[in-house]
């Protein structure tokens, strides 16, 4: 906006444009965050299935028990079907680990070998340079 005087309609228009611009950016940020959230939930479930100390006690009932526990703690979107979807999402897009581990250190399961982080995309055959942004936005169930 210039330093020239504007009329009321001009004020309304510039505020509307400002709102639209920032609302679009906020929506993209939320979508990216939801995508990462869902992928990390899938990652944690997969790692528990492989390495969890009490994994044998759950078997096929893991997602049911996990859903009940998470819902009792008011964690949204954690029904059994949703948790299964997050697990499928994680397994379908392992290349996200490269970018996610760099952006959010400490969220990957402890003890995850660094060789997995470095080679996950090579093992899946995903072309170099593909990151989590190419997966799409907000993989919700």
What tens digit of pLDDT does each residue of 76-128 get? Answer: 999 999 999 999 999 999 888 666 656 666 666 555 544 444 433 343 333 33
How far apart CA 18 and CA 21 sit, in angstroms, is 5
Average pLDDT over residues 26-37: 92
69: number of Cβ within 10 Å: 11
Average pLDDT score over the chain: 76
CB within 8 A of 62, min separation 6: which ones?
45, 48, 49, 55
pLDDT of residue 115: 42
Among 18-22, 47-51, 102-106, 124-128, the range scoring the smallest mean pLDDT is: 124-128
In this predicted structure, what is the pLDDT of residue 54?
75
Where residue 3 falls among pLDDT bands split at 50, 70, 90? low
| Torsional class of 2: left (φ above 0), alpha (ψ -120 to 50), beta (otherwise) | beta
Which pLDDT does position 106 carry in this prediction?
63
| Cα torsion angle, 85, 55, 120, 76, sign | positive
**What is the share, in percent, of the chain residues with pLDDT greater than 90?**
50
Separation between Cα atoms, residue 95 and residue 73, nearest integer Å: 30
Query: Above 50 in pLDDT, residue 134?
Result: no
94 and 124 Cβ atoms separated by less than 8 Å: yes
Task: Give the mean pLDDT of 5-24.
Answer: 93
> What is the predicted pLDDT for the residue at 6?
86
- What is residue 112's predicted lDDT score, i.e. its pLDDT? 53
pTM, to two decimals: 0.63
């Amino acid at each position: 906006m210039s330093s020239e005087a504007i009329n009321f309609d001009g004020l309304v228009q510039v505020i509307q444009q400002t709102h639209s611009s920032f609302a679009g950016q906020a929506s993209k940020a939320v979508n990216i965050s939801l995508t990462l959230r869902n992928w990390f939930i899938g990652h944690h479930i997969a790692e528990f299935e492989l390495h969890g100390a009490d994994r044998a006690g759950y078997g096929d009932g893991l997602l049911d028990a996990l859903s009940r526990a998470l819902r009792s703690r008011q964690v949204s979107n954690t029904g059994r079907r949703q948790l299964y979807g997050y697990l499928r999402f994680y397994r379908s897009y392992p290349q996200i680990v490269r970018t996610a581990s760099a952006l959010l250190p400490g969220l990957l399961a402890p003890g995850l070998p660094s060789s997995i982080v470095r080679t996950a995309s090579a093992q899946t055959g995903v072309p170099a340079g593909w990151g989590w942004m190419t997966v799409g936005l907000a993989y919700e169930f």
